[in-house]
Amino acid sequence: MSTILAARYHQGKPQAAATDSSSNGVDFQDIHHQASNTYKKKRYFKHIHCQYSPVCLILSPLALLLLGTGIAAMLVALIGIPKMTITTTTTATTATTATTTTATTTTATTTTATTTTTATTTTATTSTTISPVGIYALTISTCATWNDTGLTMGGNSNGIPGSNLESLSTPVSIFIDNDDNLFVCDRDNVRILKFTPNSTTGIIVAGNGTAGNESNQLRGPKGVAIDQYGDIIVADSDNNRIQKFVNGSTSGITLASNSSINPLGQMKDLHIDVNNNIYVTDYDNNQVVKFIPFSSIGVVVAGGRPAGPGTNQLSGPFGNFVDPNGTLYVADDQNFRVMKYFPGSLNGTIVAGNGTAGSNAYQLTRSMSIIVDNNGYIYVADYGNARVMRWTTNYAAGGVCVIGCTGTSGGAATQLRNPRDLKFDRHGNIYLTDQGNHRIQKFLIQGCSSKSPK
């Protein structure tokens, strides 16, 4: 999550430019015709000798008057055209229609005004009323470390599960927005909780606490993110569907679901990129699927083949992460590694883990989720080893433990038990789903130390 969000959708250039170019073509033709007509008029007037004729002296002012009246009428008509097209916007951008001052066909003018107005209005609304979320301008040092002692931000610090608003039961994915609000996928309580800063009492923002497939229900939610409009997107895993909860609403809208043309199995994670594309990790089908806005049919961007260890295969994938350049990272759990995919490629590169389970600096035991910082360093929730490992861009050097480095699993503030997900906040602090302890822990960023990568 390593850069500030940029603009969400590309805009086309105003169509007036096309009208301008065609207008230039008309002008050249007019020049040709005018030259031809002038020559013909000169030949004609040679025969009627009108230079000092009384008739010409009388008719000339009248002709000028009529010509001026015609030009005025044309200008009034041209000025009136843009006013007719300003229907749904108050922005000044509709002034671009005023450039159509020559060939004023109704079709060209109407099309230009409508297209320009619609695109500009959408962009203005997005940029002025919506704050981008999920991708921060991180400035984490290459030698940064994090405090060994975690702070409990959600759930009970003693590791006891529960169903009240201060408790969690087997939490899964988390998300932190630009205002430091924490969203938790509280799996066994079938709900999404929101914890505002400095509060350990959650607010239910999706799901009603009972498992089901109604629009206000969830079943086994395992992924949550906030899109660029402030809406909550949930991987409703056991219902095999992706749900959107418009900001302030507890009734979900189905964006995509399992079907014969769109297989969607058990989703283990959900991520939204800077262009509002949704990425879900489909564990059952060993693939990561991308859904572009307004489409319910996914595109496979990693895996999609039978499970295996090949660079074009995945085996039981869990977490995924997409950086602002569109590079995809996948926690390939059953292959004990992390894969990196450049945009458009289904062949990945191993960037963490060596493909065998273990606890040394080159190994992982169940890689569950990943995040990437502004340096391109990869952080892995090593579920089986109860730790968080960091790999630099020098993959061959192995990883370094940054959180949960006691070597044992447990419930102390310095320990983890089955870390399931991790995210940065905008300050560079790491939030971690300590799933086996039914809590969300926050580890504060601090200075460099001897365990930092060189």
Residue 305's pLDDT is what? 87
What 3-state class would DSSP assign to 47?
helix
- Which is nearest to 290 in space by CA: 310, 272, 308, 306? 272
Residue 138's pLDDT is what? 85
Residue 447's pLDDT is what? 82
Q: Which helix (DSSP H) or strand (DSSP E) does residue 145 occupy?
A: strand 144-146
Length of the chain in residues, anyone? 454
What's the token pair of residue 141? Answer: 């040092």
CA distance 304 to 255: 21
Largest CA-CA distance found in the chain, in angstroms, rounded: 114
∠ CA 96-101-104, nearest 5°, is 100
What 3-state class would DSSP assign to 96?
helix
* DSSP annotation of 77: H
Residue 448's pLDDT is what? 84
How many C-beta atoms lie closer than 10 Å to residue 315's C-beta?
Answer: 18
- In which residue ranges of the chain is CATH 2.40.10.500 found? 136-157+373-453
What's the token pair of residue 303? Answer: 């895996």
CATH number listed for the domain at residues 158-372: 2.120.10.30
Task: Give the CB-side neighbour count of residue 372, counting CA atoms within 13 A.
Answer: 25
As assigned by CATH, the class of the 136-157+373-453 domain is mainly beta
CA distance 400 to 388: 8
The alpha carbons of the chain give a radius of gyration, in whole angstroms, of 32
CA distance 447 to 184: 28
95 backbone dihedrals φ, ψ, rounded to 5°: -65, -15
How many C-beta atoms lie closer than 10 Å to residue 132's C-beta?
Answer: 18
* DSSP annotation of 383: G
- Which is nearest to 420 in space by CA: 359, 371, 361? 371
Q: Which residues of the chain have pLDDT under 50?
A: 1-50, 72-135, 454
Please name the residue that has the structure tokens 């050097």. 397
What 3-state class would DSSP assign to 415?
coil
What's the token pair of residue 10? Answer: 């590309």
Q: Which residues of 86-104 are buried (b: 16+ CB within 10 A; e: fewer)?
A: eeebeeebbebbebbeeee
What 3-state class would DSSP assign to 377?
coil
- In which residue ranges of the chain is CATH 2.120.10.30 found? 158-372
